[in-house]
Structure 1
Amino acid sequence: MSLPEGPPLRHCPPYWHVYETSCKRRWYDRELLEMLVTEFRDRTKEYYHWAIHTGLCQVNHQKTDPRYCLKNGDTMSNRVHRHEPPVTTDPVKILFRDEEKGHLVVRKPGSIPVHAAGRYGKHTLIHMIKHDLNEPVIYTTNRLDRLTSGLMVCSTTKEAAQKIGDQFTRGLVRKAYVCRVKGRFPEEEIDCQEPILAIDRQAGVNLVHHLGKECQTIFKRISYDPDSDTSVVYCRPITGRTHQIRVHAQYLGYPIPNDPLYNHPIWEQYPATCFKQLEIEPDRWKTEAGGMTGNQAVDAVIAAIKLERDSKEDWARWRDEMLFSHLMRKEGVEVVQVPGANGQSVMDDPKYLLAGCPAGVGSGGPELGEEGAAAALEGKAAFDSGMGSFCEECRIPLHPDPKPSELYIYLHALKYETDEWSYEDEMPWWAKEDWREGRAEE
């Protein structure tokens, strides 16, 4: 299915930023370097070791050792040159305002997270409402996934935020979404009450599983398009679990076609329906960050999704590892080894060896053939071509822009209502009757 490219991207100039956070419970008794490599996978082990060595990353505002064991009460700070990913140029729009109730209802475009997290700081809904829409005081009470668009019921007073938050918590808010799914969805209403389990925090994967939390989503088909073999479906999530609509639609056999998680090719090998009664080891999987669940099928799905994400950044990670390994060697510092998949060298991949990695780095692997070797050498040539592949100020490897069509999925929050108030958005362009494959809204 071809997707519309959409509008151009919104970029934010890089800026220096200090992250500061208290030690989380799951970090207790873990070594600093291991925790950074496992929890924050956008940079390599070599970079984090360099950051600790130079004092960019500190514990309790002091330089420390990469093997320092974190404990309750520790405060970690990390000074970074923040390069935010680009987002859509579709604006955040105010749809409704009720000064008396303290309600501010906005439409969030896909690609924009609600709150600052990870690499996102200014490219967030909160920041854009405050600075683009000149609303200095804003509170959010519900969240949408970064790739999901639609209504957000915000508040301009703390009292209103507390009241709306209580209504969401008590299940008093009736919610409606619309999505486009693969295949001819049944005409009759479907009430899916399968439990959902959050199986991996890093990959963001959720499954229908008997150990999961109680969930309920009611689906009703609006239309079917035979040309694209897709259906527009009205969704009423009775509960509010993470990725609930996406997981239930996938479980029923009708995933959202441009969903990078739940329409990943790995699900063809391991259908979503096969996991419900599989045995896993919850104590192990919940306590070991990035660890295995103890089930081959579940671990295979998680590994495939992580590999998909990492492979898009392979050459950037290779450049990161090459640069900071070199800087550490110049300082006479040996890089500390970190156990597990997250601590492995990206240069173990054969394409990096064929591209001319330093002798002794990497463990080899299967031959890639002439085509693979040519691609590897092309990537190496791009690295050797000059400073364009790095930020000149912080030396972070620069990533190419994503395609605009990769920044959203066919899922839109359409309506929120209680017995006291009701707010509804119009249908997104991809859910309208005159929608055609590959044609964006004009």
Structure 2
Amino acid sequence: LESCGETESLDEPVKKKAKKTDMRIFPYDEIKVTIKNEFIGYHPQYSIAAIRKGRLFINGIQMTNPHYRHENEIPDLPIKIIAETDDFLVVNKPSGLPVHPCGNYRFNSVKALYRLDRQTTGVLMFAKNYETDFKFKNDVLKRAVSKIYLAKVDGIFPNEEIICDQSISILSKATGIRRIDPDGQDCLSRFTLLYANKQENTSIVRCQIETGRTHQIRVHLQYLGFPICNDTIYNNFVWGPLKGKGGDYGGKSIEQLRIDVVKQHDKKSWISESDPDYAQRLKEIGENDLYEHDQLDLLNLKFDELPSYDPICWNCATYQKRPFPDDHWFMPLHCWKYSGDGWSFESPLPEWAIQHSDLIQNNIQENKKEIHQITA
């Protein structure tokens, strides 16, 4: 693993101020709580050790924590071009590739007109000039862009169109996980059954979204009681016996739900071998009043100037990770079609969908409808 130094800022200010001349008299308890909430997975002793090393800076408004990131691996899969025009480059995104910096993915990402989740496949568009980028984003704001996805869900979906307009908000800022919230952002999704497999008790559903909130399709399908197959976040009993159907979290408070969901996705569960002295090293550094601050200016160092090892870095203390299971890379959610003023792009049907002749026929009919609408 190569380490990548990066600065992260905490939005929650530390209320008590410390003397600028001595960084060792910070209010430990408040900083520890903030670190715990914002940087999940850190060792309980990390914040004190970081203070001793001069890593945490207080200016009365923000607390800055310069630390290492170790870039996660990505699957080695081909990226096929769907279309290229004077204005757009459109590709068929494979599963497992993040399209924006998130978590420990900072270099293995691409910049696009919109975001698809790491496990989501399908149409991904790039603008080739500023005018196209500006117009596309304005059309999205005006809801003039048609966005159609396919999803394979648990359960037999109803035959009639289901409209879900439940608002969504962030459950955990540190993980980006969302939940249904009446006071959240407005959302609108339309779901139509394409194929039901009674033997598997699964359905393939057409999903058309008029808004584009993070995890919108996944959260709405969870709320309707048809979570996406292999969705390790939202298709999980940590949300309660009904897996969050109808906003029922098994009697948990929102705070307890947040704690349980974050714990379920604790990155420490991926460790198979780690430095046995890591916890003791943090403890010794944190309790040593005479420990010298870092001599390096970690906030301003260039990438190639960063040290290859950091004694308080959790990733540096991880010797070996467990192999990622298949469901880490794959989830049957596919961005099928995007269309707007004078353009329309469609990706090939994913393997989990083309086996059904009903869906293929529906695909042909949908194409005919869209061609008619564009030429009319």
What is the TM-score of this pair, normalised by structure 2? 0.74
Task: Please show how residues 258-337 of structure 1 align to structure 2 within 5 Å.
Answer: 258-269=230-241, 272-275=244-247, 296-310=252-266, 313-314=268-269, 316=271, 319=274, 322-326=277-281, 328-329=283-284, 332-333=287-288
Kindly indicate which of the two structures has a greater share of residues assigned to strand: 2
Q: Does the Cα contact within 8 Å between 1:46 and 1:321 map onto a contact in 2?
A: no
Deviation at 1:428, TM superposition (A): 0.9
Q: Does the Cα contact within 8 Å between 2:240 and 2:248 map onto a contact in 1?
A: no
Partner of 1:78: 66
Partners of 2:126 and 2:355 lie apart in 1 by: 30
Task: Please show how residues 47-62 of structure 1 align to structure 2 within 5 Å.
Answer: 47-55=46-54, 57=55, 59=57
Task: Please show how residues 40-439 of structure 1 align to structure 2 within 5 Å.
Answer: 40-55=39-54, 57=55, 59=57, 69-72=58-61, 76=64, 78-80=66-68, 82-99=69-86, 101=87, 103-124=88-109, 126=110, 139-269=111-241, 272-275=244-247, 296-310=252-266, 313-314=268-269, 316=271, 319=274, 322-326=277-281, 328-329=283-284, 332-333=287-288, 394-433=316-355
Q: Does the Cα contact within 8 Å between 1:221 and 1:234 map onto a contact in 2?
A: yes
**Gaps (5+ residues) in structure 2?**
17-29, 290-312, 358-376
Partners of 2:151 and 2:240 lie apart in 1 by: 21
For residues 38-78 of structure 1, the C-alpha deviation after alignment (integer angstroms, 9 at most, x for no partner) is 212243233444344335x353xxxxxxxxx4533x68362
Deviation at 1:25, TM superposition (A): 3.8
Partners of 1:329 and 1:198 lie apart in 2 by: 37
Deviation at 1:178, TM superposition (A): 0.2
Partners of 2:89 and 2:270 lie apart in 1 by: 43
Q: Does the Cα contact within 8 Å between 1:109 and 1:148 map onto a contact in 2?
A: yes
Deviation at 1:87, TM superposition (A): 2.2
Q: Does the Cα contact within 8 Å between 1:107 and 1:152 map onto a contact in 2?
A: yes
Which of residues 18, 28, 32 in structure 1 aligns to 2:5?
18
Partner of 1:388: none
Q: Does the Cα contact within 8 Å between 1:203 and 1:306 map onto a contact in 2?
A: yes
Q: 1:78 to 1:91 in 2, by over 3 A?
A: farther
C-alpha RMSD over aligned residues: 3.3
Q: Does the Cα contact within 8 Å between 2:52 and 2:286 map onto a contact in 1?
A: no
SS in 1 for 2:71: coil
For residues 177-230 of structure 1, the C-alpha deviation after alignment (integer angstroms, 9 at most, x for no partner) is 000001111122222222223333234333333223322111111111223111
Partners of 1:434 and 1:155 lie apart in 2 by: 34
Partners of 2:144 and 2:98 lie apart in 1 by: 25
For residues 217-256 of structure 1, the C-alpha deviation after alignment (integer angstroms, 9 at most, x for no partner) is 1111111122311111111011112211111112222111
Deviation at 1:415, TM superposition (A): 0.8
SS in 2 for 1:88: coil
Q: Does the Cα contact within 8 Å between 1:83 and 1:119 map onto a contact in 2?
A: yes
Q: Does the Cα contact within 8 Å between 1:27 and 1:70 map onto a contact in 2?
A: no
Q: 1:197 to 1:25 in 2, by over 3 A?
A: closer
Aligned AA (1:303) = I
Q: Does the Cα contact within 8 Å between 2:337 and 2:346 map onto a contact in 1?
A: yes
Q: Percent sequence identity over matched residues?
A: 28
SS in 2 for 1:89: coil
Q: Does the Cα contact within 8 Å between 1:215 and 1:239 map onto a contact in 2?
A: yes
Q: 1:204 to 1:333 in 2, by over 3 A?
A: same
Partners of 1:20 and 1:151 lie apart in 2 by: 32
Aligned AA (1:325) = Q
Deviation at 1:416, TM superposition (A): 0.7
Q: Does the Cα contact within 8 Å between 2:93 and 2:124 map onto a contact in 1?
A: yes
What is the TM-score of this pair, normalised by structure 1? 0.64
Partners of 2:212 and 2:166 lie apart in 1 by: 13
Deviation at 1:150, TM superposition (A): 1.7
Q: 1:322 to 1:315 in 2, by over 3 A?
A: farther
Q: Does the Cα contact within 8 Å between 1:94 and 1:106 map onto a contact in 2?
A: yes
Partners of 1:188 and 1:150 lie apart in 2 by: 25
